Amino acid sequence: MKRMNKILYFGAALVCLLFSSCNDYLNIAPKGNKIPTTLADFEALLRDQYTIGRTPVTNALYLLNDVYLTNSQVNTPSLSRANYMWDESADRIVLNNSDEGTYYVLYGAISSCNLIVENVPTATEATDAERNEVIAYAKVIRALCYDVLVNYYADTYDAATAAEKRSVPLITSAEIDAPYTQVSIQDMYDFIIQDVKEAIEMGLPAKSMTAIHPNLGAGYALLARVYLQMQNYSEALRYANLALEQNDQLYDWNAFYEEHKTALDDPDNYDKIATPMQYDYVENYYLRLGEQSVYDSYEKNIPVERAARFEEGDARFLSRWKLKTDNNDTYYKALESGYFNHGGLTTCEVYLIKAECQARLAEGNDYSEAMNTLNAVRITRIRSEVYCPAEASTLEEALSLIRRTKDNELIFSIVPFADARRYNQEGTYARTLTKTYEGQEYSLSPTSHLWTMPFPAGALNNPGNGTIEQNVTK
C-alpha cells in the first residue's frame, strides 16, 4: 500500500505539472517517495480507478436530460442548469469556471498512460511480452479518453470538414512542459485509431489482467465505436464482429428482475440493490466508471419524461428506477448501488453498433438481419408477457428502433450524446428534443451550439506549453 501511494503521488504530480502553474514546486522529487522503475510500479497506475478509470460526462447527461435536476438546482444559475434547461442565452464559458471534471479527469488519465507508453519499454523485472501488454492497455485507455474528449469539446466528425476544424489538445508525452498542439478533428480520429491498432498488434490479450484492464474485445469494440462515429459502416461492422467473436454474452435482466421482483414491485421500498453491472458482468470488455467512484452510492435519478422513453416491460428499467416524490420534486429514484460500467465497453453496445451498420448497409429494404441483432439484445431485457420481435420496413424505422434501445442501454455514458450529435450532423434523422417544465414548453434544436461543450476556464488560462482556442462562442 505504501508503494501504491507513492506511485499515485508521482502520477498526481505529473498531472499537476501538465495542467497548472505549480511547476517550480514539483520539479523537486518529494523526499521518501519512490519513482516507478519496475513494470509492476507502472502497471499499478492502471489500477487506481479514481485517477485513471473514470469518465465523468455530467453536463452531456444534463443536456440530454438523462439525469434529474431538482427544482432548487434548476432555479440556481449554473452550467448544469444552462444545459439542463437548454438555455441558449447563457454564457457557458463564464459558467464553466469551476466545472472542469471531464477535462482534467480524462487528461489526468492520459498523463498516466503517456507515462506508461514512454517509460515501460525500459521498465525492469519484466519480459518484452509483459511490457508490451501493459503498453497496449495504456494505448487503449488513452484512445478511449481522447474519443470522449473529441466528442465532448469539439464539433461532430464530418469527413468534409474534419481536416479544418480544431478538436482538443493532443498530448503524447508525460514530460514536464512538453509541447502539444490542438490538432484537427481528423488528426485526432487518426491518432485514436492508430493507438488502438498498435495496441492490438502489440498483443492486447484476449483475457486481460482484470476487468479494469481493456482486453482484445475492448480494442475491437472501441474501433467499432470510432468508425461508427465516422460513418464508416463497413469498418464499424467488421470490428463489431471481431469484438463479438471475443465475447458475445448478454446478461439476463429478466432473470434479475424476477429475483428481486417482490422488492421492486413494492412502491414504498427503495432499499439498495447491488447492481450486476460490476467487475464480473458478463457483458464487460472493459469496466470503466462514469462520474461515480464510491461503491455504495446509488446510480443517478432520472426525470419522469426520460423514464417514458424506455420500452414497455423493460426489465432493466424496472430493476433500476422507481417513481418517487420528495416535496416539490417527482422523479424516478435510482435503486441500484455499486460500481457501474458507465464509461467502458460492453457486448451490448457492440450488438447495437452491429445492428445499425447492418441496417445502413442493407440492400433491397431488407432489415431482417439488423432486427435479428437488435432482438438478440431485447429478448434479454423485455418481459416475456409484452415482448414482440422488432420489425422494420424502412431505414428510418430500423434506426429509430435501434436508437431507442441504445439510448436506454447506454444511459449515463458518452454514447447517447455522441450518437445524438452524429445523427444531428447527418441531418436526415436529426431530432429536436422537447420537454415541459412547470407548464412551459422547451426545445433543443439539433443545430444548437449547446451540443458542443466549452473548454473550462482552467484549460484556457493555464494552457501549458501550447495554445487552446475555444470551440464555442458561449
Q: How far, in whole angstroms, is CA 184 from its chain's centroid? A: 21
pLDDT of residue 51: 87
pLDDT, tens digit (0-9, with 9 covering 90-100), for 317-331:
999 999 999 988 999
Find, among 145, 116, 83, the residue nearest to 10 by Cα.
116
Domain ranges of the chain: 2-251+344-461, 253-337
The average confidence (pLDDT) of the chain is 90
The reported pTM is 0.91
Cα dihedral sign, 360-363-365-369? negative
CB 462 within 8 A of CB 19: yes
pLDDT, tens digit (0-9, with 9 covering 90-100), for 393-415:
999 999 999 999 999 999 999 99
Give CA–CA dist 192/460, Å, rounded: 24
DSSP-derived pairing of the beta strands 336-337 and 273-274: parallel
pLDDT of residue 293: 62
pLDDT of residue 34: 64
pLDDT, tens digit (0-9, with 9 covering 90-100), for 40-59:
999 999 998 888 999 999 99
Q: How would residue 296 be classed by pLDDT, with cut points 50, 70 and 90?
A: low
Cell numbers at 248, concatenated: 458475445
Q: What residues contact 181, with CB distance under 8 A and at least 6 apart?
A: 169, 170, 466
Q: Which of 44-48, 144-148, 268-272, 424-428 has the highest mean pLDDT?
A: 144-148
pLDDT of residue 19: 42
pLDDT of residue 76: 86
Q: What residues contact 319, with CB distance under 8 A and at least 6 apart?
A: 253, 256, 257, 260, 264, 273, 335, 336
Q: Which CATH number does the domain 2-251+344-461 belong to among 3.30.930.10, 1.10.1060.10, 2.60.40.10, 1.25.40.390?
A: 1.25.40.390
Q: How would residue 33 be classed by pLDDT, with cut points 50, 70 and 90?
A: low
pLDDT, tens digit (0-9, with 9 covering 90-100), for 420-441:
999 999 999 999 999 999 899 9
Q: What's the average model confidence in pLDDT over 210-228?
A: 98
Q: Is the pLDDT of residue 463 over 70?
A: yes
Out of 16-20, 35-39, 250-254, 286-290, which region has the weakest mean confidence (pLDDT)?
Answer: 16-20
Q: What is the distance in angstroms between the CA of the first residue and the CA of the last residue of the chain?
A: 45
376 vs 17 pLDDT, higher one: 376
DSSP-derived pairing of the beta strands 336-337 and 345-346: unpaired
355, 358, 375 from 364: Cα distances, Å:
16, 12, 21
